[in-house]
Structure 1
Amino acid sequence: MAAAQAESHSVSKPLQGQRAVVSGSSRGIGRGIAVALAQAGAEITINYHSHAGEADEVAAECRSHGAVAHTLAANMGDRESVEQLIDQATEKMGGLDIVVSNAAYSDRHLMLESDLSEFQKTIDVSMWGAFHFVRAGAQKMVDAGAGGNIVVISSPHAKIAMPGAMAYNMAKAANDQMARTAAVELAQHRIRVNLIHPGWIDTPGERKFFTEETLQDRAAKLPWGRLGRIDEIGRGVVFLCHPGSQYVTGSTLTIDGGIQLPWQEMYRVDEARQEDARLAAAQAANS
């Protein structure tokens, strides 16, 4: 009976005993990741920059699932602040097993119209911040000698040249190469590094660029007919960090509801059907 209970617990809490830090986890995708890791049994350090109250709410939600949760402030655009975050998180939790690089900033203007200070901030947070976070976390894992998991939340912007988002496109393309290179370099230390490409996810950040009406209208036209949810990205992170996924490294998990498929070309299928119907009707009329 005791063995069966222990096995059941390991299935329901596959990350029990793991210690994780998630950058930018006071809201949006980061919040979904922190909560999912907590549900899987991990101890969590929630990072925030300017949303302390929301970070406390995430910590409370994590604790409601029986997890130990901490909150730490850091500016992901500042190397020293990022390195201090990793040092403090490791000290609070007594070690570090999971690092999830999620924090990002985005400036959305055409290249020729960009405010270069905003452009630079996007690069500093979304590219350099991710690098310093991953590097500092990896160093802790290497020093401990017990392996670990690093997950980088990237974006389809890494591959798709979205107009009006040059800085973000550049940063996410760099994230992809950073993660794959780190996967090669850290394999000898049994540290796995993987990427997630979320699609269009329902987060507070999207309200920075779109009205609620526009979001809902465009979401209905997506292949899956809705925006993605933060818990869906969180479960993807748990999968990549799961002990059963130990042969997965240097991979990209796409969780986008089909948004990277050529769904906008489906009008050609409709046109072909209409043409077939027209020809059939003409043939019937002439027979």
Structure 2
Amino acid sequence: MSAVLRGQVALVTGASSGIGRATAIALAQAGADVALNYLTLPEGAISAQKIIEEQGRRTLLCPVDVSDQAAVEQMVEQVARHFGRLDILVTAAVFSEREPFLTADMAGFRKTFDVSMWGAFYVLRAACRQMVAQGQGGRVVIVSSPHAQIAFPNCMAYNMAKAALDQMMRTAAVELLPHRIRVNGIYPGWTDTPGERKYYSEEVLQKAAQTLPLRRLAQPEEIARGILFLVSPDSDYMTGSILSMDGGIFLPWWSKRGSGENL
């Protein structure tokens, strides 16, 4: 896929770390120019920008809070002016607080929705309006999560936000059919990102990884390859679908415990 996106322009939110950063770099390796949105960890966005520009691709840094609708709309306008177009959107920006809903800090609960759900909606709306105006189609990937279907405890706000994203993705896919804009989602499994270290030490993460079906966490670059597939011509017959790169978390892998079988 070294040049399948040549001439295309992509906007990636949450591009300073984790899946967003890995995706921005992967899209550039496939030939796209990339606008990198972020709010925290600016050093990650700057280092990604350097890597991308060393490959001969153009970049634009967009330090914008995606939960601010007016700022998001201005960002998309800036991207279109800077590059002359916008063809691809990947929404990876996320925020989450993990605590029981009975005692949850409601400020954190609401911020999870503001960033993870409303932020994705604001960027989707603004970016697709630009794509519709261009009249040349487009591709969107919404980074969702198995949290949309699995009721992980102490994650109610995040579970709810991701479930909402799935329905948002499907509805957008239906409404954008006449405009040849494909909209799909992806379910990353438990991925080794800086965000996970907000809650867990390296030792805890490594121990927890052994309880997963494949006995390890996903790497951001693995998820980025799935996203690259969803925006490439190889997936031209996909829209309104979810690509699950979850490491087998939906399998009845717990039934293997104590059986003496190794996965």
Do the aligned partners of 2:4 and 2:233 also contact (CA within 8 Å) in 1? yes
3-state DSSP class of the match of 2:102? helix
2:45 to 55, 64, 84: 55
* 2:85 aligned partner: 95
Percentage of pairs with the same residue: 51
Query: Where does residue 237 of structure 2 map in the other structure?
Result: 247
In 2, the alpha carbon distance for the partners of 1:216 and 1:51 equals: 24
SS of the residue 2:172 aligns to: helix
Deviations 1:213-268 (A, max 9, x none): 01001112322121101111111111011113211111100112112212122126
Match of 1:42 in 2: 32
Give distance in 2, aligned partners of 1:173 and 1:187: 22
Give the 3-state SS of the residue equivalent to 1:90 in structure 2.
helix
Alignment match, 1:160: 150
TM-score (normalised: structure 1): 0.88
Q: How far has the Cα of 1:269 moved from its partner?
A: 3.9
Within 5 A, what are the aligned runs for 1:1-287? 11-267=1-257, 269-270=259-260
Segments of 5+ residues of structure 1 without an aligned counterpart are 1-10, 272-287
| SS of the residue 1:34 aligns to | helix
**Displacement, 1:12?**
2.3
CA shift, 1:143, in A, is 0.6
Per the TM alignment, residue 78 of structure 1 is displaced from its structure 2 partner at its CA by 1.2
Q: What SS class does the counterpart of residue 248 from structure 1 fall into?
A: coil
Amino acid at match of 1:121: K
CA distance in 2, matches of 1:244, 1:173: 27
Deviations 1:82-139 (A, max 9, x none): 1112111111111000011110100111001100001000000001011111011110
What are the Cα deviations for residues 162-181 of structure 1, in whole angstroms up to 9, with x where unaligned? 11000000100000000011
* Distance across 2 between alignment mates of 1:252 and 1:67: 29
Per mean C-alpha deviation after superposition, the further-off stretch among 85-94 and 20-29 is 85-94
Q: Please, which runs of 5 or more residues in structure 2 have no aligned partner?
A: none
SS of 1:12's equivalent in the other structure is coil
Q: Normalising to structure 2: TM-score of the pair?
A: 0.96
Aligned residues: 261
Kindly report structure 1 stretches of 4+ aligned residues shifted beyond 6 Å.
Answer: none
Aligned with 1:20: secondary structure?
Answer: strand
Please say which structure displays the higher CA radius of gyration: 1
Residue 152 of structure 2 aligns with an amino acid whose one-letter code is M
Q: What RMSD over aligned residues (CA atoms) do the two structures have, in Å?
A: 1.3
AA in 1 matched with 2:73:
E
